[in-house]
Structure 1
Amino acid sequence: MTDEEIAKRLRQKDMDIFDYIMENYNKLLWVVVGNILEKVGSSEDIEDCISDVYIKLLENPKIYDHKKGSLKSFLVRIGKNLAIDRYRKITRGNMIAIHEDYSEHDDLLQFILAQENRIKILEALDTLNEPDREIIIRRYYYNEKVKVISEKMSLSSKKVENKLYQGKLKLKTILIAEEGF
């Protein structure tokens, strides 16, 4: 099913399309949201966040425009943003979670800075265009090999390596511009 067909059925509030979307993208969202919330949240927090992605799409199906990008990247972006918001909410209001994670670290300040840096990196990553964003996520979040990425995305290995290099330079520029990361 094409993204255009999905977008059309979403606007028609076809409930079968939501089943299709959940069936095909739930694992991906679990990985994306889980990577952000795994240290501070519970599995219920992750499930709630994923449900919020679907609810957001259900309540306002016009927010997805297939002309601007794939449904996959749209759902990942929404999931990441909601997970980052939930992460901030949990860590602000729950110093116990930070304290529990801190027990594994030597220095509380180092731990807090590392968590803040992770959020900044995710936000910077969200500003990259496709396919750069997807390539970097596949390589550095899912630890996929360049060869696997090139096969899955129908790109040459050299192209993937170039995109990784260029993407890292863009991220570096963005992060340096923000508070001298």
Structure 2
Amino acid sequence: MKDEELVIKLKAREEGTIDILYDKYFDRAYYYTKRILCEYGSKEDVEECVSDIFLALWKKIDKFDSQRGSFDTFVNVKTRTVALNLKRKLQRSAQRRVNGCIEELDLVENVSVSAEEQVFDKIGEYDILHAIDEFKEPDRTYFYLRYFMNYEIKAIVEAFNTTVSAVDNRLYRCRLLLRKNIGKEVV
């Protein structure tokens, strides 16, 4: 079925049209969504996002204007918009979890430490956290998961669909960068 016919049927809300739309554009929507969510989304997140894309296409079909572009472009833009919105939501959620774990860390265990030492510890802690925030992705995420959230390397490997040696190498390079930037052993 041509796009023009599909649009007419979608606007008329003909039964079964959403199935045709799904069959025609599922592979593309899934591929783009998976690429956009690669670092943050699970397989379930990708599948849910694809469903949201088709729901958005169904609801917003009246906004399609053939004078402004092709239906293909409309589908691509809607896919990108919905996937990027979910990615931002997942990023905020991950950052809140990381921030919560950092706040829970009690880096000063010795109560008899002087106020001056506590200030220097806090400055050092801030420098370390600032240096970690400068890491590129996925290094930053791996570092937070491993050293702040105590994830096993196997769990990180499974979550990001990578290899143990890749995660080990990235963590090693992160520790080297911290040692170089901060001037002391951190982890």
If the TM-score is normalised by the length of the shorter chain, which range does it land in?
0.5 to 0.7
What TM-score results when the alignment is normalised by the length of structure 1?
A: 0.52
Judge conservation of contact 2:10–2:61 (CA < 8 Å) in 1. Answer: yes
Tell me how far apart the structure 1 counterparts of residues 98 and 16 of structure 2 sit (CA, whole Å). Answer: 41
TM-aligned CA distance change 1:80 to 1:98, over 3 Å: farther
TM-score (norm 2): 0.51
Q: Which residue of 1 aligns with 2:41?
A: 41
Change beyond 3 A, Cα 1:22–1:36: same
Deviations 1:85-111 (A, max 9, x none): 111111111138889xxxxxx954232
Query: Which residue does 2:5 correspond to in 1?
Result: 5
Give, in whole Å, the separation in 2 of the partners of 1:72 and 1:37. Answer: 21
Are residues 1:110 and 2:138 paired? Answer: no
1:23 aligns with 2:23: yes
Question: What amino acid sits opposite 2:4 in the alignment?
Answer: E
Q: Is the CA contact 2:39–2:138 (under 8 Å) kept in the aligned structure 1?
A: no
Quickly say closer, same or farther: Cα 1:54–1:84, change in 2 above 3 A. Answer: same
Deviation at 1:23, TM superposition (A): 0.6
Superposed CA RMSD in Å reads: 2.9
Structure 1 unpaired stretches of 5+: 100-105, 116-181
The size of the alignment, in residue pairs, is: 109
Counterpart CA distance in 2 for 1:30 and 1:97 is 27
